[in-house]
Amino acid sequence: MRDLRLILCLVLVFVAGGLAAAGLTLYSYRDDLGQIIVVDSLERIPEQYRDNAKRSFIPAFRSAPPPKNPAPAFEAVPENNISVSPHQPVETDSFTVSAPPEEIEVETGLASATLTMEQLRLIHLNNERIYLAARDNGLQFPAIGHLHLSNGQLIVDFAMPTEMTTAAGTAWQKDARNFYDQLRSMHISITSWLSTNSPELVAAMPMLLTRAKSLLADLETVFSAIPTGK
């Protein structure tokens, strides 16, 4: 048993030493006791066992050769060279994060301005009806007095929005006040003409209405520029 251990140790020594070089040739044979003996030289085998000895070759261990085309190394990109637009979506492997939308300007006084526009349109429309009724039916036509009283109430109840929060809203408010002053001045003139039954109403109204219509068209344009948030 001790001889077998010695033989195995020798084999390991031979293997370790020989494999480090170009390779190792080993010979093995079975003795009379049936034990397999491994040696590194044919001369180490007794002559009576040489005919039945087996020869084997173990090549040397070699490290794998380096790849011909090594993979390129990835260089780190400095953080200060990375830029993302504030309104550009940022994509990741699993989802897309969109930048928040730009803030939308909204006129907080829009509802009040809309009501004011409806009042101004109605006053102007009633003035046109007064002129047509007076021209076609005379100054004593009953509908004229009714339309004139209706306009008087609209002018008394008229209230200009006190505050507009956008530049477009402020511009509209200024033009709306000027247009209202024109309508009120016309109403005073109509009151005077009706009270004296003056034909001046029919003669002067076309020019006044043409001017008022032009001012209203300009006011509509300015009103449409007020931001609604839509």
Domain ranges of the chain: 2-59, 110-224
- pLDDT of residue 6 exceeding 50: no
Burial class of residue 39, CB neighbours in 10 A (0-12, 13-18, 19+): middle
Burial class of residue 11, CB neighbours in 10 A (0-12, 13-18, 19+): middle
Give the pLDDT mean for 151-158.
Answer: 92
Least confident of 86-90, 166-170, 219-223: 86-90
- pLDDT of residue 221 exceeding 90: yes
Q: Could you tell me which of 230, 111, 214 has the C-alpha nearest to residue 169?
A: 111
- pLDDT of residue 13 exceeding 50: no
- CA distance linking residue 28 with residue 88, whole number of Å: 76
**Most confident stretch, 2-11, 98-107, 181-190:** 181-190
Output the average pLDDT for the chain.
Answer: 78
Burial class of residue 220, CB neighbours in 10 A (0-12, 13-18, 19+): middle
pLDDT given at position 20: 44
- pLDDT of residue 61 exceeding 50: no
Strand (E) or helix (H) holding 86 = none
Full-prediction pTM beyond 0.85?
no
pLDDT given at position 72: 56
pLDDT given at position 159: 84
pLDDT given at position 32: 83
State pLDDT tens for residues 110-148. 888 898 999 999 999 999 999 999 999 999 999 999 999
| CATH node for 110-224 | 1.20.120
Give the pLDDT mean for 186-199.
Answer: 94
